[in-house]
Amino acid sequence: MQEIIKEFLKTHRIPEKAKFIIAVSGGPDSIALLHLFKYLNLNILALHCNFGLRGKESNRDEQFVKRFCDLYGISLSVKQFQTNRYAEEKGISIEMAARELRYEWFREMKNKKKMDYIVTAHHADDLAETIFINICRGTGLKGLTGIKPVNGDLLRPLLDCSRTDILQYIEQHQLGFRTDSTNNSLEFVRNKIRHKIIPVCKEINPAFLDIIRENCEILKETEEIYTYAIEKLKKEVTDYKNGEVLLHIQKILASPAPYTLLYEILKPTGFNKTQVRDILNSSESTPGKQFISGKFILTKGRDYWRLFESHSTPFIPLQIEQPGNYEINGIPYRFELVPAGSPLPTNPAIACLDADKAIFPLTIRSWEKGDRFCPLGMKKLQKKLSDFFTDLKFSPKQKRECLLLLSSNQIAWVIGYRIDDRFKTGPLTRRILKIYPLQ
């Protein structure tokens, strides 16, 4: 097994002079791993977690690891955890709590002791068990690739070894170890798979673990091809405009796997499989259908599904009491009185209103259903704001974010787009209220 470790380090280009943290529970797997790294004279630090879940048995595990490390002259750090309390506070399972506590401490010690890698004793049986667990819980291609031998600074050099190989090594070198009594409890999913399913698979095919490893290697490369193809297709069906992600409906439908492609695009924003199926089924529906996942909104358009991030909180109406500087949605604006006759800019981001008509205090608020105004040039003809948005081909995101400036409850300016004809300047204007962004 020493050669397996050497080959692992060579294959993954890990220098033997590196500094390794070895996670040691006291079980045969971690004891074999620790002995192997010590035997090869590598620079190691052993870490043992006492989760306090099995009373005196947990304490005896800790004492055994201490004696083992003393015997072989191995540096060791031990930490005791209040695992039950942590799980209760976080609202998570004991298993998940132990995992979070374990790896948080490993990272902390890695930084504190300036180590390079964290090494765990996962082996071929663990690999097979993990794949079965993923299948039972539901998984995609990634879950079928099992446990990675190298995942950043995490190393699992024993994945090519079976539990039988490890026990033979323990016996050969006359190493003691501790047995976790909970490993035999069928209360846990992993133990059910370990004691009920894996033995049957080995009975059907004695080379079952070898087959699992070979399949994992094939599936890892398959996953790389899959990821490459998905990324390529994403670029072909996706555009970006005005802070929105535009997903071209017909291009997605024409792809080899529309559902899978759409799911991979939307998965990072929290849309689940059922929602993705509903979105795909909306491809022939009337534009306007909306889907929500957390802070993300997707709307069905004529040619695109439009994805954008909504504001987590609605805009709170703002009172403008007098000329000066004000912040509107994070953008500073200047409200300034200038004399009539000053050159009028044509930029729609700047409003020039008759100051005798736009009377302080002014109000800024979000638009509401039923709002009407008289767009510049239409004189007294009022237009629904929703129709104005349609004329300008506003996206759903632009509609949601549109703000209005009001004077005496009348819309004076659709901010950034059009002033109201009733507030425009003319020959009788004496003063101009000029409103413009400062950035």
CATH no. for 2-212? 3.40.50.620
Q: Nearest to residue 432, comparing CAs of 351, 362, 333, 321?
A: 351
Kindly indicate the confidence band of residue 75, based on its pLDDT and cuts at 50, 70 and 90: very high
The residue with greater pLDDT, 342 or 298, is: 298
Q: What is the pLDDT of residue 121?
A: 95
Does the annotation list 371 as a binding residue? no
Q: Could you give the CA distance from residue 364 to residue 372 in angstroms, rounded to a whole number?
A: 15
Q: Smallest Cα–Cα separation from 49: which of 37, 31, 61? A: 61
List the domain boundaries for the chain. 2-212, 242-309, 318-437
- Is 162 annotated for ligand binding? no
Is 146 marked as binding a ligand? no
Interhelix angle for 124-137 vs 208-237, to 10°?
A: 50
The Cα 354–Cα 358 span in angstroms is: 6
Taking CA atoms, 353 is separated from 343, 349, 430, in Å, by 13, 13, 11
pLDDT at 312: 52
- Peptide bond before residue 361 is cis, with ω within 30 degrees of 0: yes
User: Residue holding tokens 């929500």?
Assistant: 292
pLDDT value at residue 311: 64
Q: Pick from 200, 189, 210, 156: which is nearest to 4 by CA? A: 156
Show the tokens assigned to 126.
């663990």
pLDDT at position 313: 60
Tell whether 370 is in a known binding site.
no
Instruction: Give Cα 272 distance to the centre of its chain.
Output: 13
* H or E stretch at 352: strand 351-354
Token representation of residue 128? 């097979």
369 pLDDT tier (thresholds 50, 70, 90): confident
Residues 382-393 have a mean pLDDT of 88
What pLDDT does 314 receive? 67
50-54 average pLDDT score: 87
Phi, psi of 412 (to 5 degrees): -100, -30
- Of 136-140, 220-224, 382-386, 403-407, where does mean pLDDT reach its minimum? 136-140
Q: What are 272-287's pLDDT values in tens digits?
A: 999 999 999 998 888 7
Is residue 21 predicted with pLDDT exceeding 90?
A: yes
CATH class given for the domain over 318-437: alpha beta
**Whether the Cβ atoms of residue 366 and residue 411 lie closer than 8 Å to each other:** no
Render pLDDT for 161-210 as a digit per residue (tens, 0 to 9). Answer: 999 999 999 999 999 899 887 777 787 788 899 999 999 999 999 999 99
With a cut of 90, say whether residue 289 has pLDDT above it.
no
Mean pLDDT, residues 62-70 taken together: 94
**CA-CA distance, 131 to 145, in Å (whole number)?**
7
Instruction: Please give the C-alpha separations between residue 404 and each of 86, 328, 390, in angstroms, as whole numbers.
Output: 49, 11, 17
Number of H helices, E strands in the chain: 15, 22
Tokens 């405009």 belong to 241
The reply, when asked if residue 157 is annotated as ligand binding, is: no
Annotated ligand binding at 28? The verdict is yes
R_g (Cα) of the chain, nearest Å: 33
User: Contact at 8 Å (CB) between 302 and 310?
Assistant: no
362: pLDDT confidence band, cut at 50, 70 and 90? very high
Mean pLDDT across the chain: 90
Nearest to 262 by CA among 244, 281, 243: 281
Residue 354: Cβ-neighbour burial (10 angstroms; 0-12, 13-18, 19+): buried
Cα–Cα dist 298/342, whole Å: 44
All residues at 6 or more sequence positions from 9 whose CB lies less than 8 Å from its CB, including other chains: 15, 16, 157
